[in-house]
Structure 1
Amino acid sequence: MSDMSDVSAFGADLSTRSNYRLLQDIPLRLSVEVGSTSLRLADLMDLNSGSVVELDRQSNELLDILVNGTLVAKGEVVTVNGKFGIRVVDVVATDARLSGIERRS
């Protein structure tokens, strides 16, 4: 019975790359959360053009970058050719990312 300790680094690297190739075409949803707030329904119904809703995040804080709803990184807004983009500043530790993934059977 092998414990994989005898697998060369080259072999493990090929295996890892092969696994990534199997997964590379799976679509994921990346989203960026600027902030959030809670409103009463009456306050929501009173919103109109020009209304300002205060969020729970300071303007100088990094934004949450989520993949399929799981926090994976923090970043800041940039513009790229006239479009919004996000610069990744900090990647969340792997164990913290994996704890946000729910295992389904």
Structure 2
Amino acid sequence: MVTTDENKGKPDPSSSDPTKISRSTGKDAGEKPYEFSDLSSDTSASQPAANMELILDIPLEITVELGRTRMLIGELLKLGQGSVIELSKIAGETMEILANQRLIARGEVVVINEKYGIRITEIISPTERIEGLK
């Protein structure tokens, strides 16, 4: 709908509600165009380090996946102490490292002071990470 100054203050003929009054959209109504800031002198390029500080303390859950398998409920119910579940990965094969359930890297299992660790052998590229989201 286009309104003009000649319709200003009159009921809007295009509206089914005769109580609606059209308003002028011209400069006479006191409207001013929005002025956008100059993007060529953007200072946000100097702010990435400051923005990064905001997220450095956010906790992530890191998981190393040893392997997977599928089994029937009947097989699951038969498991007992000493049962062995065969996994899909072969001994010595690289493990997947997940951050909040998203693949970020691969690595090999190591033992450090009698605790397991993982040595990163491959970092997943941003392109591969995006493909993994599909």
Q: Same fold (TM over 0.5)?
A: yes
| C-alpha separation in 1, matches of 2:118 and 2:130 | 22
Please identify which structure carries the higher strand content. Answer: 1
Counterpart in 2 of 1:53? 85
Unmatched 5+ stretches in structure 2: 1-37
| Deviations 1:22-68, CA, capped at 9 Å, x for gaps | 10011100000010000000000111111111111111210000000
Counterpart in 2 of 1:37? 69
Bigger relative contact order, structure 1 or 2 (CA pairs below 8 A, ≥6 apart): 1
Matched, 1:72 2:104: yes
Unmatched 5+ stretches in structure 1: none
4+ runs deviating over 6 angstroms: none
Matched, 1:2 2:39: yes
Cα distance, 1:20 vs structure 2: 1.6
| C-alpha separation in 1, matches of 2:95 and 2:117 | 12
- Relative to structure 1, the CA distance from residue 17 to residue 51 in structure 2 (aligned partners, 3 Å threshold; closer, same or farther) is same
Counterpart in 1 of 2:115? 83
Matched, 1:97 2:100: no
| C-alpha separation in 1, matches of 2:53 and 2:109 | 30
Root-mean-square deviation over aligned CA pairs = 2.4
Calculate the TM-score normalised by the size of structure 1: 0.79
| C-alpha separation in 1, matches of 2:51 and 2:117 | 29
Identity among equivalent pairs (%) = 37
